[in-house]
Amino acid sequence: MPEKMVAIMKTKPAYGAELVEVDIPKPGAGEVLIKVLATSICGTDLHIYEWNEWAQTRIKPPQIMGHEVAGEVVEVGPGVEGIEVGDYVSVETHIVCGKCYACRHNRYHVCQNTKIFGVDTNGVFAEYAVVPAQNVWKNPKSIPPEYATLQEPLGNAVDTVLAGPIAGKSVLITGAGPLGLLGIAVAKASGAYPVIVSEPSEFRRELAKKVGADYVLNPFEEDVVREVMNITDGNGVDVFLEFSGAPKALEQGLQAVTPGGRVSLLGLFPGNVSIDFNNLIIFKALTVYGITGRHLWETWYTVSKLLQSGRLNIDPIITHKYKGFDKYEEAFELMRAGKTGKIVFMLK
Ligand SMILES: NC(=O)c1ccc[n+]([C@@H]2O[C@H](COP(=O)([O-])OP(=O)(O)OC[C@H]3O[C@@H](n4cnc5c(N)ncnc54)[C@H](O)[C@@H]3O)[C@@H](O)[C@H]2O)c1
Ligand SMILES: C[C@@H](O)[C@H](N)C(=O)O
Ligand SMILES: [Zn+2]
Ligand SMILES: [Zn+2]
């Protein structure tokens, strides 16, 4: 076992990050040490890299970045039961208290004391990482590390898409960033038809098609609501899934969903949003779900089985695979430019 490792660290309260050599951490009580096999970049990591307003209030450098991972347990701390050296694992990022009102109602995804692994703690953009044992998820060997690392964001997408019936339903997805793309894969694997995707970036519209979208629309050049009505014989879609965080997309989706339809909102808006509640939600009798994190642990079972089923079309979503962390700056800049789906660092 080596003593040192490389890691992408947010060293300073400023734009960027550094590749550093640091000691391999030791797992304390209730923790395990994993050897990272694959780790992927989330939009949250990009916010930390860019040092946006949210990051400035939340992140305390120096800190190792990253939270999406597949790895192998190499050491188990005192008091840990049910996890052994050699286990192939991923990590739920929400560290919940288990004691608050929400937790005691089994609503761990809205724990009032949630800390986020890799945001409020050191993370997994490193050769090794210490992980709280309560957040470890065991993977079957049949899921390759480059897929297993995507389970955390896939969980967001699964909760968004599967918050209500989806098989045989017409669907509008707004936003085909990494999460919207995962949402398309889940909707298609679950039998939705047609899946209509609205996304301004041509690069991402092409990705959406490769993942299986039946129709793609450019909201900056086409009338999304009219196009959706044309495709659905004037009825509107059964299900509207918001993955963009764009207020305009929210309004279009609420207009394009059929009366009595279902809406799942995952995208985070830049601030308060003004909506005609009476006409777009109340008189349409919509069912609207706010989506956050993942249901623990139901969502992980669903994600794992969807991956094992082989029905999720993930390959087109992984647009960039890097061996090691050497090109991390290129990876972050590509992501900033919106020229990516998911980026995975392979450490195997
Ligand atoms: N609720 C949660 O738990 C949770 C978890 C993770 C991410 N999120 C949020 O989910 C959203 C998606 O994440 P991501 O990483 O894919 O983000 P992203 O920014 O990469 O993707 C958003 C996409 O929306 C597109 N878009 C912009 N304006 C649009 C419009 N008017 N109509 C349609 N599409 C439009 C963009 O071109 C982009 O491709 C973000 O808002 C993120 O903050 C929420
Ligand atoms: C940490 C954040 O980026 C993560 N995707 C979540 O579900 O909360
Ligand atoms: Zn994330
Ligand atoms: Zn709690």
Q: Which two tokens stand for residue 326?
A: 């050497």
77 lies in the same domain as 197: no
Three-state DSSP at 246 gives: coil
10 lies in the same domain as 142: yes
Which protein residue has the closest C-alpha to ligand 2 atom 4?
Answer: 293
282 lies in the same domain as 188: yes
**DSSP 8-state assignment for residue 291:** -
Q: Which member of 11, 39, 47, 299 is catalytic?
A: 47
Answer yes or no: is the C-beta of 42 below 6 A from any ligand 2 atom.
yes
273 lies in the same domain as 332: no
pLDDT at residue 255, rounded to an integer:
98
pLDDT tens sequence across 46-84:
999 999 999 999 999 999 999 999 999 999 999 999 999
**DSSP 8-state assignment for residue 278:** I
47 lies in the same domain as 85: yes
Overall number of domains in the chain: 2
CATH value at residue 217: 3.40.50.720
267 lies in the same domain as 215: yes
Q: Is the pLDDT of residue 348 over 80?
A: no
Annotated binding residues for NAD(+), as ranges?
Answer: 179, 199, 204, 266-268, 291-292
171 lies in the same domain as 127: no
Contact (Cβ atoms closer than 8 angstroms) between residue 275 and residue 251 = yes
Ligand 2, closest atom to CA 118? Answer: 1
CA distances from residue 300 to 65, 90, 153, 177 in whole angstroms, order as listed:
23, 10, 11, 21
pLDDT at residue 21, rounded to an integer:
98
Answer yes or no: is the C-beta of 116 below 6 A from any ligand 2 atom.
yes
Residue 210 belongs to some domain of the structure: yes
Residue 296 belongs to some domain of the structure: no
Mean of the per-residue pLDDT values of the chain: 98
- 11 catalytic? Reply is no
58 lies in the same domain as 79: yes
Domain that holds residue 218: 157-290
Tell me the mean pLDDT in the region 23-30: 98
Residue 170 belongs to some domain of the structure: yes
How far apart (Å, rounded) are the C-alpha atoms in residues 188 and 194?
A: 9
- 47 catalytic? Reply is yes
pLDDT tens sequence across 304-337:
999 999 999 999 999 999 999 999 999 999 999 9
29 lies in the same domain as 51: yes
Nearest to 91 by CA among 59, 68, 108, 113: 68
140 lies in the same domain as 167: no
Residues with CB under 5 A from ligand 4 (ion): 96-97, 100, 103, 111, 113
Question: What are the respective helix, strand and coil percentages of the chain, to the nearest 5?
Answer: 30, 25, 45
ipTM beyond cut 0.85: yes
pLDDT tens sequence across 107-162:
999 999 999 999 999 999 999 999 999 999 999 999 999 999 999 999 999 999 99
pLDDT tens sequence across 262-311:
999 999 999 999 999 999 999 999 999 999 999 999 999 999 999 999 99
Ligand 2, closest atom to CA 43? Answer: 3
Q: Which two tokens stand for residue 255?
A: 């207009």
227 lies in the same domain as 331: no
Answer yes or no: is the C-beta of 340 below 6 A from any ligand 1 atom.
no
Q: Examine the fold and report which residue of 244, 274, 290 is the final residue of a domain before the chain moves on.
A: 290
Paired strand residues for 89: 71, 138
